[in-house]
Structure 1
Amino acid sequence: MKNKYSYILPTILALALALGIFIGGKLHFNDTPERLFSTNSKKDKLNRLIDYIDYEYVDDIDTDSIVDITVNNILGKLDPHSVYIPKSEMDAVSENMKGDFVGIGIRFNMFKDTLTVVRTIRNGPCAKRGILAGDKILMADKDTIFGKRIPNSEIVDRLKGQLGSTVKLHVYRKSEDRSFNVLVKRDVVPIKSVEAQFMLDKEMGYIKINRFAESTFKEFKKALTNLQKQGATKLVLDLRDNPGGYLGVAEKMADEFLKDGKLILFTKNKKGKISKAFATSRGTFEDKPVYVLINERSASASEIIAGALQDNDIGTIVGRRSFGKGLVQREMDLGDGSAVRLTVSRYYTPTGRSIQKSYEKGHKDYYQKYMDRYNSGELVSVDSIKVADSLKFTTPKGKIVYGGGGIIPDVFVPIGSLDEERIKSLDATGYFSDFVFKFLEKDRTRFKSYPQKEFMEEYRVDDIIFERFIDYLLNAKPPIKFDYYGNESRIKSYLKANLAEQLYSPNAALKVKASQDKMLKKVLEIDKNVLDLMGADAALLPN
């Protein structure tokens, strides 16, 4: 005879099982069995330690800062490109990678403790309201924005705001000796990835890209289309000093040059899973000469494009060996407004080479390798580049390429002389820009009605400005001394370029600098059609 509970027991077990499935469906067990069944896991240790400090430690401690230090220390044990982004930096990082921000659309300097407009952004909010270069903005609504103790970051925060919001600016215009108020409506202001685009001659277009953000491909496509309309059948793609960015943007850009079905790259994660990216039929610059410029500061997405073209025997890579970053990061939200960019895979060029340089000796050694390259002579002579036969690969047409430590160019262009590099450094660190700004502040009316075309073709920096710049360098702290007169032509070119940038645009500045650009000259030397068209002794300065 069956027990009276024999029918009830299976029912209870069935209900318990169903309840367990229901509850389990509401939970998310992503941890290991040790985490589920132990109260002493590694994660618990960190959590408990922070709690103990929060509630029991004798002094008040900012545990947020402790957490930041802990996270950075953990990531410091990984590769050099896995990084922590604190909450305080997320907005700036996001804006840079998105390619725009909400603001009033000006570039400014703090001149004698006063915000002075260097240049308005074309079609931006301030440009539409008639703000001019040289205008001094004294107040934004009720906030004073002049004085020694106000950092630039705080001024930027006061000028930014919600999309569509307005800010009343109190402006002083020196050229008219008057003050006035103007109401400016904040709008989306682009952060340009395409720094310059112009024709080097009747056939050769030029595009300079400074990073790979969300907006980069759209900007690049627009620039390429514009150049093609002007007759470009050849292209110089300048990726020098470009640190990289989004992988997907680099893939789209490479697709413009590669035929349908060509491998762009593949990635491999820790589990061995391989993902491949192939070109499509959407490319608009296939079967046309393309020259990619790279240097020792070209990294990541820049190297993806250079590697994809080189391994598919497309175009010519010109310059010096690239940085050597072959790791892929994914940004992960940490739940409190901060994030971590964690390396999740390695990428490989179409021939199967990894161009990631070693980081086994730590982060300091990793970034010190640039100096090692300089000291070894690699930046001066291609013969000084160290390669390993074990990392030798062959392209479909039989060209030998190497993995490990960056992309080695097809055509090598050495670094400039010590003085040439010093002048570039002075430009990059703002000495030329600061001098030109102060020069313009003395009398902007001189250039008020100067047409850009006339300036580009006819204006020459005179000896008086040149001598004033030398005095400016000699009065710097510490004084800057080198062979000024032996580099007069280059210095005058950089002064004109900075004038062009502040009066017109960055595009105009790079047009001027083209006349002194050794890599561009090398491109013209190796492009026979251009040499036939321009002549071996023709000036490079574009119109």
Structure 2
Amino acid sequence: MKKRTYLIPIFIAVALAAGILIGSKMRFSDSAQLFFTSNSKKDKLNKLIDYIDHEYVDDVNTDSIVDITVNNILAKLDPHSVYIPNSQTELLAENMKGEFEGVGISIMMLNDTLAVTRILEDTPAEERGILAGDRILMADKDTLYGKGYTRGYVISKLKGNSGEPVTLKVYRKTTDEIIDISLNRAPVPLKSVDAFFMIDDVGYIKVNRFAESTYKEFRTALTLLKHNGAKAIALDLRDNPGGYMEMAEHIADEFLRKGRLIVFTRNKKGEETQVFATDKGDFEDGQVYVLINENSASASEIVAGALQDNDVGTIVGRRSFGKGLVQREMPLPDGSAVRLTIARYYTPTGRSIQRSYKDGMQDYYDDFQKRYESGELQYADSIKVADSLRFTTPKGKVVYGGGGIIPDVFVPLETSVYKDHLNYILGSELVSTYIFEYLDDKRADFSGMSQDDFVKNYTVTDDAFTGFQEYLYDNDFGFDISEYKYEVGKALKASIAHQIYGDNAYYRVLKSDDTMLQKVLELYYTSDSEE
């Protein structure tokens, strides 16, 4: 069996991307003449680039020099004013728009071959009969298998303009045949609501970012959960780095009565913009629990802060990231852009939750490690607060500014009892790749099993567990997993759920014993019994 290269998701880093993603969804419409008029500082930089271009002894890529210069300038401002090279602007715009144009499949590279792990609903791939387990060999005349083909390359051959045709040459292992499937590309959603489902009387909604489509997705989830009898909502914003401020305002509005202040911003001139709740809230009388952790940032903190400061709901988890700056994206002539901090935002009581960055960027980025070493992630009384940044909500609850949202109910970071290499294995693509190959021969076994039946009753077989152990050995991971049968079994079951049934089933399995969700249920049923 060939060795593979695996990438491990590092969730700590997600929060650090908050400055890249947050935006007020404002468009830069100011006069170009105002910003690009001649002055001595700009002329000096332009003249220097010209000298290097025309007079310097060696050939120099001055584009790279300009990029470095821009990055260095922005680094002197704050951690969240960033430069976006033109090579990344399209991808970031796509991510925040909430859709791309393609065929509608989830993929992995398996032994140098593009393998389909899942078909997305209501997409050309589903309509034209592509199946999970298929291997895509060619897109029109472009070969997509073999060494040297990166994931980015093959994706670029599948994406295209809506309505644009493409013929895929597909190997179907179940029937051992190669077939041609022609389809037209179309918009494919990039979901920002990962999952929503009922846990007893509590509706669970997991939001991964705040993109243009997030509020629409959230409303759909909320409506269906209410229809299914949800008396409370658990809004999971853990590891959510933020996004468009407007989406956060809309979601907070669902839980706040008309006229309640949601958030306000203040720019360099001292001008304030206030946002108030409207009369459209659809869950104003229900209980709401917002789950946050150290990677919940910016727009996530706007939602949590708006509810906490209005004495609505309960914030559960650990202190959030602490980003209280608002960026606006501004295009540059070569297709690149800058996202520049243009204001600070404040929660309804007047808190700025932005962490200090006076000691430099490295110190700012090392915050997670400092929190871990101080014991803050394990013990609520280790959270440092400044009494000068003490605020009071209308009902008298004390809240603090200066560094994130401190939850109403603290839930410690689970101290891992596993060895480091088991964490590595469960956090890598080893599990999903093994399950894909396992399902090559077992996929039909699940054809008559409902998602609900699978989640509640399915148990990973001893053969599957043993097979995964052998798979690890074959890939040079000489680690005995026999002591961790429950943890590994849950990971294998969650991966089967994801590849057979989709995101909802995946999260239902993964969150079945989640400590923060268990705390929410405890709080809900305790409050219910006290009424």
Q: Same fold (TM over 0.5)?
A: yes
SS of 2:511's equivalent in the other structure is helix
The alignment status of 1:166 with 2:165, answered yes or no, reads: yes
CA contact (8 A) 2:119 2:131 kept: yes
Supply the distance in 2 between the matched residues of 1:406 and 1:429 (Cα, whole angstroms): 29
The alignment status of 1:338 with 2:342, answered yes or no, reads: no
Query: Cα–Cα, structure 1 residues 219 and 481, in superposed 2: closer, same or farther, change >3 Å?
Result: same
Match of 1:386 in 2: 384
Query: Cα–Cα, structure 1 residues 480 and 285, in superposed 2: closer, same or farther, change >3 Å?
Result: farther
Query: Cα–Cα, structure 1 residues 90 and 118, in superposed 2: closer, same or farther, change >3 Å?
Result: same
Aligned pairs for 1:219-234 (under 5 A) are: 219-234=217-232
Given the alignment, which residue of 319, 344, 347 partners 2:345?
Answer: 347
Tell me the alpha carbon deviations over residues 253-282 of structure 1, each in whole angstroms, 9 at most, x when there is no partner. Answer: 100000111010111111111111111111
Supply the distance in 2 between the matched residues of 1:148 and 1:46 (Cα, whole angstroms): 44
CA contact (8 A) 1:332 1:341 kept: yes
SS of 1:267's equivalent in the other structure is strand
Q: More displaced, 318-327 or 447-456?
A: 447-456
Supply the distance in 1 between the matched residues of 2:376 and 2:472 (Cα, whole angstroms): 31
The alignment status of 1:42 with 2:47, answered yes or no, reads: no
SS of 1:244's equivalent in the other structure is coil
Tell me the alpha carbon deviations over residues 78-134 of structure 1, each in whole angstroms, 9 at most, x when there is no partner. Answer: 111111111111111000000000001111111111111001111111111000011
Match of 1:23 in 2: none
SS of 1:467's equivalent in the other structure is helix
Unpaired segments ≥5 residues, structure 1: 1-26, 534-543
Aligned pairs for 1:14-29 (under 5 A) are: none
SS of 2:230's equivalent in the other structure is coil
SS of 1:418's equivalent in the other structure is coil
Query: Cα–Cα, structure 1 residues 350 and 210, in superposed 2: closer, same or farther, change >3 Å?
Result: same
Supply the distance in 1 between the matched residues of 2:136 and 2:50 (Cα, whole angstroms): 48
CA contact (8 A) 1:493 1:516 kept: no
Q: How far 1:476 sits from its partner (Å)? A: 4.9
Query: Cα–Cα, structure 1 residues 30 and 401, in superposed 2: closer, same or farther, change >3 Å?
Result: same
Supply the distance in 1 between the matched residues of 2:413 and 2:288 (Cα, whole angstroms): 22
Q: How far 1:485 sits from its partner (Å)? A: 4.6
Given the alignment, which residue of 355, 368, 375 partners 1:370?
Answer: 368
Match of 2:301 in 1: 303
Equivalent pairs counted in the alignment come to 499
The alignment status of 1:30 with 2:27, answered yes or no, reads: no
Supply the distance in 1 between the matched residues of 2:180 and 2:32 (Cα, whole angstroms): 57
SS of 1:68's equivalent in the other structure is helix
Match of 2:241 in 1: 243
Match of 2:444 in 1: 445
Tell me the alpha carbon deviations over residues 279-306 of structure 1, each in whole angstroms, 9 at most, x when there is no partner. Answer: 1111111021000000111001000000
CA contact (8 A) 2:304 2:405 kept: yes
Tell me the alpha carbon deviations over residues 135-180 of structure 1, each in whole angstroms, 9 at most, x when there is no partner. Answer: 0110100000001101111111111111100101001101101111
Match of 1:496 in 2: 493
Query: Pairwise CA RMSD of aligned residues?
Result: 2.1
Match of 1:157 in 2: 156
Q: How far 1:231 sits from its partner (Å)? A: 1.1
Aligned pairs for 1:169-180 (under 5 A) are: 169-180=168-179
Query: Cα–Cα, structure 1 residues 61 and 461, in superposed 2: closer, same or farther, change >3 Å?
Result: same
Q: More displaced, 44-53 or 168-177?
A: 44-53
Aligned pairs for 1:479-490 (under 5 A) are: 479=477, 481=479, 484-490=481-487
Supply the distance in 2 between the matched residues of 1:424 and 1:250 (Cα, whole angstroms): 33
Supply the distance in 1 between the matched residues of 2:475 and 2:265 (Cα, whole angstroms): 49
Q: More displaced, 149-158 or 457-466?
A: 457-466
Aligned pairs for 1:421-440 (under 5 A) are: 426-440=425-439
Supply the distance in 2 between the matched residues of 1:525 and 1:394 (Cα, whole angstroms): 26
Supply the distance in 2 between the matched residues of 1:248 and 1:480 (Cα, whole angstroms): 49
Match of 1:518 in 2: 515
Letter of the 2:516 partner, please give it. M
Tell me the alpha carbon deviations over residues 399-446 of structure 1, each in whole angstroms, 9 at most, x when there is no partner. Answer: 011111111101111111223696666444333222222322354333
CA contact (8 A) 2:426 2:488 kept: no
The alignment status of 1:464 with 2:463, answered yes or no, reads: yes
Query: Cα–Cα, structure 1 residues 514 and 251, in superposed 2: closer, same or farther, change >3 Å?
Result: same
Letter of the 2:116 partner, please give it. V
Supply the distance in 2 between the matched residues of 1:85 and 1:346 (Cα, whole angstroms): 21
Supply the distance in 1 between the matched residues of 2:181 and 2:74 (Cα, whole angstroms): 48
Supply the distance in 1 between the matched residues of 2:82 and 2:291 (Cα, whole angstroms): 28
Tell me the alpha carbon deviations over residues 25-81 of structure 1, each in whole angstroms, 9 at most, x when there is no partner. Answer: xx975269xx76x6xx11001111112222222333222222111111111111111
Supply the distance in 2 between the matched residues of 1:153 and 1:355 (Cα, whole angstroms): 37
Match of 1:397 in 2: 395
Supply the distance in 2 between the matched residues of 1:223 and 1:399 (Cα, whole angstroms): 31
Structure whose alpha-carbon radius of gyration is higher = 1
Q: How far 1:530 sits from its partner (Å)? A: 8.4
CA contact (8 A) 2:110 2:433 kept: no
Aligned pairs for 1:140-289 (under 5 A) are: 140-201=139-200, 203-289=201-287
Over the matched positions of the two proteins, sequence identity in percent amounts to 57
Letter of the 2:96 partner, please give it. M
Match of 1:22 in 2: none
